[in-house]
Amino acid sequence: MTSGSLDVIDVGECYELLASHEVGRIGVNAEHFPLIIPVNYGMDGRTIVIRTHPGTTLTAAAHANVTFEVDEIDRTTRSGWSVLVRGLAEEVGAEHRADLVARTHAAGVAPWAPGEHGNWLRIIPQEVTGRRIVPGRLPWGVDERAYL
């Protein structure tokens, strides 16, 4: 493969990519170690919304600085993109304004994991960055559209 390029994704497209997916990874500090957890999520404008159940590590992320990452990778063409969000996680509860609670619940988060998911986290972005690996030309005899 001839070399491709590593491009920066602008913030607007980063938010479009975030809105087009439903599974990402949240990074938190838990018991003095970084922990990365796959989660289902939705968007409320430019805020990321996650549902979780009481007592999980994610509940401990409330009011903490966190990271959130979404990506798409194509192993055949060795291409893909990644969006990284750094922000503050906030647990949403009855003490919040009714419109904020309603918007959070309306974000359309449908957890894949079984069990109760009555706790809600919002990640308020402070920094959003993205990168895209654009493939170069594939070597002779290799075609990403080919199949066996």
**Domain-located, residue 49:** yes
Q: Which domain holds residue 26?
A: 5-132
pLDDT in tens, 99-143: 766 676 666 777 767 777 777 888 999 999 999 998 877 666 555
Residue 48 domain-assigned (yes or no): yes
Q: Which of 32-36, 56-60, 62-66 has the highest mean pLDDT?
A: 32-36
CATH, residue 53: 2.30.110.10
Closest residue by Cα to residue 74 from 82, 66, 83:
82
What is the number of structural domains in the chain?
A: 1
23 lies in some domain: yes
Query: What integer is the mean pLDDT of 54-76?
Result: 83
Average pLDDT for residues 46-68, to the nearest whole number? 81
Query: Which of 30, 40, 18, 31 has its CA nearest to residue 108?
Result: 40
